[in-house]
Amino acid sequence: MNTLKEALQSMKAPTLTEEQQMALREGARKGRIQGVLMTAAAGSGHPAGSLSSMELYLLAYGAARIDPQNPDDPDRDRVVVSHGHTSPGAYAALAFWGFVSEQDLVPHFRQAGSPFQGHVEREVPGIDWGTGNLGQGLAAGVGFALAARARGSEAWTYVLMGDGEQVKGQVAEARRIAAKERLNRLTVLVDLNHIQICGTTEAIMPADLVALWQADGWRVAEVDGHDVGALYVALREAREGDRPTVLLCRTVMGKGVSFMEGIPDYHGKVASGDRLRLALEELGASEAEAARVVKLRDAPLPRGREVRPPVPCLDAGSPLTYGAETKTDNRSAFGKALADLGARNRGVAGRTPLLVFDCDLAGSVKVDGFAAACPEGFVEAGIQEHAVATAAGAASAAGVVAVWADFGVFGLDEVYNQQRLNDINGSSLKLVLTHVGLDVGEDGKTHQCIDYAGLLRNTFGWRLVVPADPNQTDRAVRWALTEPGNVCLAMGRSVVPPILREDGTPFFGDGYAFRYGEVDVLRPGRDGSLLALGALAGRALEARDLLAREGLEVQVLHTACPLGLDPEELLPLLGTGPLVTVEDHHVDTGLGASVALILARSGRAVPLRTLGVTRYGDSGASRDVYRRMGLDAPGIRDAFLSLRASHA
């Protein structure tokens, strides 16, 4: 086995020996037996596509420089399985190469608590990305290839795909990015079996795959996907090109099992009873093997590996402090901090490379300064948000600090599923959303991202930071880029005056360090509280001044972390109320919802009014849009007085 692995990884020989080919053919036969058995034992799964992809899996994992004893080596090659429903094929190949045990795998496929889930997941050694729905894998491969290049690594990336997903838009986006960036150490193998769930690919959605890939600048080769010798030659030739290569591998759906071959039903239908006996007989196995597998299903479950996001190594530099006279916006403060970190860490040995993605908005989202200072770390991908969301997430899991800045409606609303999959995959993306909330003003309701906190609330790993002013933005950026895990920073478009202390000095200036989940006491007070999110802290302070004219001393609190509030810190600050929360966000899914949940869980009865966005916003100057939504200083004052009067 070691000799075969060495031959595939080095690819020095022009062809494989007959002995080596026989070993791979036997591995494919055993893999097909395992694929049929594991889906039969589970009573569900996708056997036929797994059988058609078997040789592709064996050759890709054989060629990839991945050590089963050290599958998390940061300098390894990476293999992405885009048609993740063919997990039995991928898992069988991993068993062949020694990444997992056949005894752990086959009986425990699709069993609750087992790492061998129905679609490939990173808990299984050798699986580098859990691809979820079809169309994700190529973009993940692009991210891995970009990260390898940024690290100066010679690592190769292999992506295995199905033919049905080739018509998805995200695949086309990823093809173009790979060609533009000339990612010649990226090889794709497409399982061209012509079968989808509802029929043939030609009947469901015809596409000229050769023309599509060639038009986007790829080298295209066609090969018999069941001929291990031909696959080896094709993979070897792919290493000699100066651009990415796709291998269109002609295969037979359900290969090796007569009643499955070329039949759409077995895309997601398992063999049972007499059909199972026939399948095993044709593959050279016995019915007794099926009984043994079923019995082993009651054995203790295998354990998967723990996936942890990488810890960046960066010099965060010294924060910039903006004084009272400064007139700037949070996105500009982000851009300056990003450019500073880029220049400070560029080319320094041992530092984690920075990779910044843009979708044709560099000047608006303020990553143009980084692009000028560190052009080798800047990826301009055009208006292709779906592929960029996945590519940036995958890159962040592969040894770089990946930053993607975009408008809120594009970077989260449009690509929510991709950001959800980044969370599932344990990535470490730094997502910067600008132009969020009603602050977009004139752009109108379609471009006012008022649901970002609610969307991220539905995940389990994303952290959200909505800074109050340029000073807090600067410090939050430096914190986020040195933190492992997914972090989203959200900010509006308009100029935001620095938040000042009562003595006129910046509140988030010298001596302030950002801490996730912290509640900032901007002003003390005994007559109740205003708790603001992000840039509305300034309006809350204005409302406090208006309330002072009514003889009230109201506390003003701020948090940048609506999803990270600590009840033990927040509740003592609130006292007995009344409390008004203020946010430029959907009133029922942001800060107010978080506070209400904390109060309910604690059993505290505090008079509460949640102010926020209650309908789709208007198109007009941001101050007018806020006023009509009741989010200007007089509106906040009136809400507090009304709440106080109703609980007098």
Alpha-helical (H) ranges within 181-243 are: 201-204, 209-215, 228-238
Measure the CA–CA gap between 99 and 94, rounded to whole angstroms: 5
**In what side-by-side order are the strands of the sheet with 555-559?**
519-523, 555-559, 529-533, 579-586, 608-613
According to DSSP, the residues that pair with 243 across neighbouring strands are none
Measure the CA–CA gap between 469 and 625, rounded to whole angstroms: 20
- Residue 210: predicted pLDDT: 98
- Contacts of 300 by beta carbon, 8 Å cutoff, 6+ apart: none
- Residue 175: predicted pLDDT: 98
Query: For 305-329, how does the pLDDT look when each residue is reduced to its tens digit (9 = 90+)?
Result: 999 999 999 999 999 999 999 999 9
Measure the CA–CA gap between 434 and 585, rounded to whole angstroms: 14
- Residue 291: predicted pLDDT: 85
- Residue 167: predicted pLDDT: 97
Measure the CA–CA gap between 359 and 176, rounded to whole angstroms: 13
Phi, psi (rounded to 5 degrees) for 249: -100, 110
Residue ranges in the chain whose pLDDT is less than 50: none
CA-based nearest residue to 200, from 208, 209, 192: 192
- Residue 559: predicted pLDDT: 98
Number of H helices, E strands in the chain: 26, 18
Residue with tokens 């068993």: 95
> CA angle, 292 as apex, 288 and 295 as ends, to 5°?
140
- Residue 241: predicted pLDDT: 85
**In what side-by-side order are the strands of the sheet with 378-380?**
378-380, 354-358, 401-407, 430-434, 487-490, 463-465
Tokens at residue 126, please? 């050798």
- Residue 1: predicted pLDDT: 63
208-237: b (≥16 Cβ within 10 Å) or e: ebeebbeebebbbbbbebbbbbbbbbbbbb
Phi, psi (rounded to 5 degrees) for 530: -110, 125
Measure the CA–CA gap between 419 and 450, rounded to whole angstroms: 17
